[in-house]
Homo-oligomer: A and B are copies of this chain.
Amino acid sequence: VAPQTPKRATGRPKAARKRARRYHHGDLRRALLQETLRTIQAHGVEGLTLRGVGQKLGVSRTALYRHFADKAALLGTVSGEGFRTLHAQLAAAWKDNGEGGEAFAAMGIAYVQFAVANPSHYRVMFGSGLDPDCAPDPELQQAAAGAFQALVDAIVSQQRQGSVRPDEPLMLARFIWSLVHGIAMLAIDGRLSQGEAIETFTRFALERSRTGITEG
């Protein structure tokens, strides 16, 4: 879909100066999602205001309710897009690095890098902002499951190569997921070392997850 410029009555009398656009434009929904993400990246979830989003877009503060049920639904959609982006980056890291042990490490690095590069987005993706446990939102659930599946597939592939022990793939995937998720969260919260040291640590942690912390 080509970007649709709003129809302008160019020959309009000056009396219409107050309101340049009436119905904003053709794709308010996408604009709302973009502005939401931009606001979150800049000021965090707690800095997100529906009124502010509307104002930035030159739209009434209730126009949003034509496209999303409420604030939670808006954030849920943003969250789903995050999981799809993450999924794509994980898949790329796996494919672009030979689909072996090195590629698996690259996936882990890519995971943490996504979180560090988009901390607020990542936080929205993982619960804390959403309601306790109501409205699981199937589409979001599916997007998250898709990203997780990339991890499972990579593990199964390595098991076939004989480089990973033949445990239940789901358990191994959860193990690695917990590790990178923990690193990502602590890194975002500033509880690990700063800046580029994060990648060094992530590499160390992934290496330890391969061979363990035991002596010998």
Contacts and interface: CB of A to CB of B under 8 A. Distances in A.
B162 A174 contact: no
Q: For this complex, into which size category does the number of interface residues on chain A fall? A: 35 or more
Contacts of A205: 174-175, 178
Interface in A178-208: 178-183, 185-186, 188-192, 201, 204-205, 208
A163 interface: yes
Contacts of A201: 171, 174
A213 interface: yes
A171 B211 CA distance: 15
Nearest to A178: B182
Contact of A182 (B180, B188, B210): B180
A26 interface: no
Interface of A: 44, 46, 123, 126-129, 131-133, 144, 159, 162-167, 171-172, 174-183, 185-186, 188-192, 201, 204-205, 208-216
Given A126-B185, A182-B182, 17 more contacts: A127-B189, A163-B215, A167-B208, A171-B201, A172-B208, A172-B213, A174-B186, A175-B208, A175-B213, A177-B182, A177-B186, A178-B183, A179-B179, A185-B185, A208-B212, A209-B209, A210-B212
| Among all A-B residue pairs, the 5 with the closest Cβ atoms | A182-B182, A212-B212, A178-B182, A128-B128, A181-B182
